[in-house]
Chains A and B, each alone.
Chain A
């Protein structure tokens, strides 16, 4: 059974706080690691697709790192804003299909 674990399950932060989440995945048969952001009543939207060990990607205030040897990825949000409130999903591509974690639900309070 291939498990993708995300922690924490939920997070409440104040506007301006920086925060980070973890995605753990099997370290074998790795092809890629995806991060998606899913706002309520909208569709999931891709943030990053990462393929190389040591990859670091950045989009505005959001960045992600990847460690394929130990099987984890971190997503960082710097200076959280209320519009960052969403569920953040990671998905592990094991060369066969995408396996999604259950997500980290972030709420940012003004």
Chain B
């Protein structure tokens, strides 16, 4: 069975631009959660979507947003990029939420210049 797919894998943007990252979960998984990893930090929770509804949100500014489509695919968007947004963004899918085992994608590495 296909794993979690994230696109793009790598991207470079400049300050002030915006970016959209995509995540296709494992077939049948309805929950998608997003995490940010920066050097020296653990994975920081961004948000979780289940059946197109945001169920939970981490402590990130409003520039970070997301959505989920009816096929469970999810996108996250970061507007007005800042240098500090350079990070690896991971998405994870699970059957019914972050309580059970998470299946991670390989991540999208964003560099902001």
Contacts and interface: CB of A to CB of B under 8 A. Distances in A.
Given A43-B4, A102-B42, A97 B56 contact: yes
A98 interface: yes
A17 interface: no
B107 A101 contact: no
Interface stretch (A44-52, A64-72, A73-81): A44-52
Interface residues of B, number: 25
A43 B107 contact: yes
Contact of A97 (B42, B58, B103, B105): B58
Interface in B30-87: 33, 35, 40-45, 48, 56, 58
Query: Which label, helix, strand, loop or mixed, suits the secondary structure of the A interface?
Result: strand
A88 interface: no
Interface of B: 3-4, 33, 35, 40-45, 48, 56, 58, 90, 92, 98-107
Interface of A: 4, 31-32, 34, 36, 42-46, 49, 89, 91, 93, 96-103
Given A98-B45, A99-B45, 6 more contacts: A4-B42, A34-B102, A44-B92, A44-B102, A44-B104, A98-B33
18 contacts: A34-B101, A36-B102, A43-B104, A43-B107, A44-B43, A44-B102, A46-B101, A46-B103, A91-B43, A97-B58, A98-B45, A98-B102, A99-B42, A100-B42, A100-B44, A101-B42, A102-B41, A103-B42
